Structure 1
Amino acid sequence: MKTILIVDDEPRTRQGIRKTLEAWSSGEHRIVTASNGVEALAWLEKNETNLLVTDIRMPEIGGLDLVEKLNEMAYPPVVIVISGHPEFDYAQRALRLGVVEYLLKPLDKAKLVRAVEQAFKREEDLHRIGRMEKLVDPKLLEAGEQEMKYSPPVRETIRYLEEHLHEPVSMREVAEHLHLNASYFSVLFKEQTGLTFSEYLTRKRIQRAKELLVSTRMPIADIAERVGYQTAKYFVKVFRSIESLSPGQYRQRDAEEEETTPY
């Protein structure tokens, strides 16, 4: 059950938003209200929310000041702000803070519901991106950022490995595929990517394995075979050397983090 926190110092507006979202959610979401930013922060010290719907102008702590404080959290909620006036400066600041929608009072119920649906979609996208970022090998990421500067043989090698990652691939085999001398190819690849052919291939295989570990329930032995290792024992050894965890421990850690992340 996801949580929506509504913050507005006007009781009529606050309760109107709550009733609209309760009717829309049909009990699928937990909906909480606070009458000002101070009350909201006190509640958030002990609770988590997925979505914040807040007025901009409130005593003591305004809506955007509240959003700024929440952005310091490990898992800040997505935000919709509401305002009685179309103030350009407020709208600009809201955009800079990553606010999903800026709605004007009096609120249109249909627009409010659409904004909430959009906010939850944004939250899911951010969650998915966050999980994928954790899977990316920083050395592969750095190499990938420079790919357009690589010579055609190196770019072709990267494409070839993507397509043949599940097969037993050797540097000599790839050099022959490119009609290049193996020694020359070895120097060329390391010079341009910063990684030896063997290190690049290993890291690519382990990254693919991590993706399969967190997105499927595939057995470890099957994943080992899927990423080009003939035995699960050797795959586990290589995986541990790079991640400092066994594949099973990596999958378990991801599952535990998923359970404790408020998305």
Structure 2
Amino acid sequence: MRSRTILIVDDEPKSREGLKKMLGVWSAGQFEVLTASNGVDALQILEQTPVELMITDIRMPEITGLALVSQLRERGIRSQPSVILISGYAQFEYAQQAIHLSVVDYLLKPVSRDKLVESVEKALKAGEERERLLFMRKMADPQLLEVRNEEAALSDPVRQAIQFVEMHLEEAISLQEVAGHVHLNGSYFSALFKEQCQINFSEYVARRKLQKAKELLLKTNLPIAEIASRTGYQAVKYFNKLFKEHEGMSPGQYRSMRNETKAEVR
């Protein structure tokens, strides 16, 4: 399992080693703490190693901390860590630029242990939230999102049908069953659903089940057969075939995206 990494960038040896020591004690071996004495070395590390959090001084020769963060964003380096800036100068201009670069925190030297730990935990939490949002984007189905965005305008029977699907994703769901649940004729319900959602009911159910399957693939280590069962498919071969038709890859290949996503975020 790949270790989680924090990178400290500071041209002052005393400050650099002090931060490393404080984080080493705090992390108790959960993080590998790397250091760089300048922006050039830091960029080389970032290009080769997935870094979860970077703590960098602002005022450094050659490449300033702000320029380092800017280059990190511009180069599209796969490892895009959360960033904490530190400085011996309380300048409003620095804080403004830090906000523009989506820096998580801005600390003034000398940095106390408590303040550093508080800031690091906040930055790591922000990174986890970014990873969650990236997962959501990878899993998103445009047609399902469109139905969700228009949900307020749907009629009561169609909304009830969608709620029924949500509650029974682990089961086989038929149009007739849902039509009966919302007290409508099957043919009328089918036409009504298509008219309001711009998608056939059967396709909606299939897409929603696959969306659930994608969540389970990315967020759990459940076997493929178990995921198929939890989305109402008892035949794993049929589930694999349907998944590949919609996603252009097998469930196993899709699951491998989890590690790729983490590498992109960190």
Q: TM-score, normalised by structure 2?
A: 0.87
The structure 2 residue matched to 1:48, chosen from 46, 50, 58, is 50
What secondary structure is seen at the aligned counterpart in 2 of 1:93? helix
Deviations, residues 105-155 of structure 1 (Å, cap 9, x unaligned): 221121012211222222223223323332222321232222223222222
Q: Map residues 44-123 of structure 1 onto 2, 5 A cutoff.
A: 44-71=46-73, 72-123=76-127
2:215 corresponds to: 211
Q: Does 1:223 align with 2:227?
A: yes
> Which amino acid in 1 is paired with 2:77?
M
- What is the CA–CA distance in structure 2 between the aligned matches of 1:90 and 1:212, rounded to whole Å? 42
- What is the CA–CA distance in structure 1 between the aligned matches of 2:172 and 2:47, rounded to whole Å? 53
Q: Map residues 82-231 of structure 1 onto 2, 5 A cutoff.
A: 82-231=86-235
Alpha-carbon offset, residue 96 of structure 1? 2.7
> Which amino acid in 1 is paired with 2:66?
L
What secondary structure is seen at the aligned counterpart in 1 of 2:48? coil
Matched-pair contact (CA < 8 Å) for 2:240–2:251: yes
Q: Does 1:13 align with 2:11?
A: no
Matched-pair contact (CA < 8 Å) for 1:56–1:83: yes
Distance of aligned partners of 1:8 and 1:247 in 2 relative to their CA distance in 1, 3 Å threshold: closer
Matched-pair contact (CA < 8 Å) for 1:70–1:77: no
- What is the CA–CA distance in structure 2 between the aligned matches of 1:216 and 1:80, rounded to whole Å? 31
What secondary structure is seen at the aligned counterpart in 2 of 1:18? helix
Matched-pair contact (CA < 8 Å) for 2:47–2:78: no
Distance of aligned partners of 1:63 and 1:240 in 2 relative to their CA distance in 1, 3 Å threshold: same
What secondary structure is seen at the aligned counterpart in 2 of 1:45? helix
Alpha-carbon offset, residue 214 of structure 1? 3.3
What secondary structure is seen at the aligned counterpart in 1 of 2:5? strand
Matched-pair contact (CA < 8 Å) for 2:131–2:261: no
Q: Which runs of 5+ in 1 are unaligned?
A: none
1:4 corresponds to: 6
2:40 corresponds to: 38
- What is the CA–CA distance in structure 2 between the aligned matches of 1:32 and 1:217, rounded to whole Å? 30
Q: Which has the higher contact order (CA 8 A, sep 6+)?
A: 2
Matched-pair contact (CA < 8 Å) for 2:47–2:77: no
Matched-pair contact (CA < 8 Å) for 1:221–1:232: yes
Matched-pair contact (CA < 8 Å) for 1:83–1:104: yes
Distance of aligned partners of 1:262 and 1:161 in 2 relative to their CA distance in 1, 3 Å threshold: closer
Alpha-carbon offset, residue 258 of structure 1? 6.4
Deviations, residues 153-176 of structure 1 (Å, cap 9, x unaligned): 222211110001222222222222
Aligned pairs, number: 262
Alpha-carbon offset, residue 261 of structure 1? 5.5
- What is the CA–CA distance in structure 2 between the aligned matches of 1:23 and 1:219, rounded to whole Å? 38
- What is the CA–CA distance in structure 2 between the aligned matches of 1:146 and 1:45, rounded to whole Å? 42
Alpha-carbon offset, residue 259 of structure 1? 7.9
> Which amino acid in 1 is paired with 2:208?
K
Distance of aligned partners of 1:4 and 1:188 in 2 relative to their CA distance in 1, 3 Å threshold: same
Q: TM-score, normalised by structure 1?
A: 0.88
